[in-house]
């Protein structure tokens, strides 16, 4: 892989490696920080109340005994790692925590944190709120999600001690939409032929934006786009990655070191995170509804969408990326993506491989040997 070649990319990569850096400065200035788990959390509400929203990540290189004790070892290791890091204070001081019901592991994480906060206050876990966003394409579902967003808004007001006005929410929504739009333009850099951004670099860019105030994130993304022509060209078999999500670069780095260039993906630490904008309405009274629709109808994640929806999205996205092969990576105890693979393989028509029951942060490259040479069918 070529070395970093622009100041903006170097800064974003460093921030992705230390995702608490901005939060430490924010807390030192007496400003509140809210951790959150899952892409279904309406970060606009947190920003509108003056919080810095920081998406929490696990650490595949660290033991997770504390999380295992409360969640058991039969759960997605990402959730167990996040709980361990919460208990260890690895995220620094958090004034609040919001967890989305994006999967069963996140829900169990929420229950564990809520109970520990209640019965063992000395541990110092932050107060926690669940946001239960559903993804069915019905107006009744929209009304349900709208109610959950209003509940979150009321809770955030209690935490912050201030009213979240419609103007506050509109400004925060516009700021986060700007970041999402810029991430869409950054994603285009690895769709080029030749690509000007690797998958590992793109993953780092997205990760950094989830730990920054939206205005700073947008400024860095604009700088990166302005410097794009100075980025080195990236080569390799162009791969579209589906399956489990990736909050850590280990799998991407291993794939790309083996000659598989990740030009796109359909998980919510990548392209799905900026898949849909809110596009705030002119009438402030309709803003909460627009937020509800954005989170309800966001990209089709494996745990929430049907097999048909996933296959159609994967096929369209892989075509847009100019992918030459399809890889489905399924982490241990994250079973939902495995069911999608046959339909995704058929819909894309690409040489494809499934790597199943993988350890958190690692990948069995031997299962992908047939994809490393362009034109060789799996």
Q: What residues contact 333, with CB distance under 8 A and at least 6 apart?
A: 74, 75, 76, 77, 105
Asked whether this chain's domains 18-165 and 168-371 adopt the same fold, the reply is yes
Domain extents for the chain? 18-165, 168-371
Sign of the CA dihedral running 269, 196, 21, 213: negative
Instruction: Note the pLDDT of residue 370.
Output: 79
φ, ψ for residue 64 (rounded to 5)?
Answer: -130, 35
Q: Which two tokens stand for residue 25?
A: 């400065």
Q: What is the CATH number of domain 168-371?
A: 3.40.50.11900
Q: Which two tokens stand for residue 68?
A: 């295992």
Instruction: Note the pLDDT of residue 298.
Output: 84
Q: What is the pTM of this model?
A: 0.94
Q: Is 251 exposed, middle or buried (0-12, 13-18, 19+ CB in 10 A)?
A: buried
Could you confirm whether domain 18-165 is CATH 3.40.50.11890?
Answer: yes
Mean pLDDT of 238-256: 97
Instruction: Note the pLDDT of residue 71.
Output: 96
- Cβ atoms of residues 24 and 33 within 8 Å: no
Q: What angle do CA 230, 174, 225 make, to 5 degrees?
A: 5
Identify the band that residue 377 occupies on the pLDDT scale cut at 50, 70 and 90: very low
Instruction: Note the pLDDT of residue 304.
Output: 76
Mean pLDDT of 75-90: 97
How far is CA 42 from its chain centroid? 13
Instruction: Note the pLDDT of residue 301.
Output: 79
Phi-psi region of 151 (alpha: psi -120 to 50; beta: other; left: phi over 0): alpha
Q: Which of 242, 201, 229 is nearest to 325 (CA)?
A: 242
What is the Cα–Cα distance from 294 to 340, expressed in whole angstroms?
Answer: 23
Alpha-carbon dihedral angle through residues 177, 181, 183, 188, given to the nearest 10 degrees: 170
Q: What is the pLDDT of residues 304-347, one digit of tens each?
A: 788 999 999 999 999 999 999 999 999 999 988 999 999 999 99
Q: What is the pLDDT of residues 111-122, one digit of tens each?
A: 999 999 999 999
Q: Which two tokens stand for residue 82?
A: 């996040």
Mean pLDDT of 371-378: 51
Q: What is the pLDDT of residues 29-55, one digit of tens each?
A: 999 999 999 999 999 999 999 999 999
**Which residue, chain included where needed, has tokens 């359909």?**
266
């Amino acid at each position: 892989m070529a070395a970093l070649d622009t100041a903006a990319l170097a800064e974003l990569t460093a921030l992705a490696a230390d995702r608490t850096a901005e939060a430490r400065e924010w807390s030192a200035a007496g400003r509140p920080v809210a951790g959150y788990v899952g892409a279904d959390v309406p970060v606009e509400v947190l920003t509108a109340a003056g919080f810095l929203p920081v998406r929490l990540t696990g650490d595949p290189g660290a033991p997770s005994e504390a999380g295992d004790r409360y969640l058991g070892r039969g759960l997605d290791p990402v959730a167990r790692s996040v709980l361990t890091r919460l208990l260890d204070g690895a995220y620094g001081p958090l004034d609040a925590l919001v967890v989305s019901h994006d999967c069963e592991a996140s829900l169990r994480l929420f229950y564990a944190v809520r109970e520990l906060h209640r019965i063992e206050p000395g541990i110092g876990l932050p107060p926690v709120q669940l946001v239960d966003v559903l993804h069915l394409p019905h107006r009744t579902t929209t009304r349900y999600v709208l109610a959950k967003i209003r509940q979150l808004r009321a809770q955030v007001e209690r935490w912050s001690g201030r009213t979240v006005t419609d103007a506050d929410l509109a400004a925060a929504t516009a700021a986060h939409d700007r970041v999402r739009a810029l991430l869409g333009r950054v994603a285009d850099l690895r769709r080029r032929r030749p690509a000007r951004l690797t998958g590992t670099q793109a993953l780092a860019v997205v990760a950094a934006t989830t730990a920054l105030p939206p205005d700073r994130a947008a400024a860095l993304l604009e700088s990166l786009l302005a410097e794009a022509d100075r980025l080195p060209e990236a080569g390799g078999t162009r791969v579209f990655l589906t399956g489990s999500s990736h909050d850590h670069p280990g799998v991407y780095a291993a794939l790309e070191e083996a000659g598989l260039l990740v030009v796109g993906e359909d998980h919510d630490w990548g392209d799905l995170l900026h898949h849909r904008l809110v596009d705030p309405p002119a009438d402030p009274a309709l803003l909460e509804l627009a937020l509800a629709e954005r989170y309800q109808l966001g990209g089709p994640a494996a745990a929430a969408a049907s097999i048909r929806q996933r296959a159609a999205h994967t096929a369209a996205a892989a075509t847009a990326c100019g992918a030459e092969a399809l890889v489905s990576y399924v982490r241990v105890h994250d079973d939902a993506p495995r069911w999608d693979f046959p339909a995704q393989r058929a819909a894309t028509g690409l040489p494809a491989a499934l790597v199943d029951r993988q350890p958190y942060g690692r990948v069995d490259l031997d299962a992908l040997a047939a994809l490393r040479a362009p034109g060789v069918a799996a």
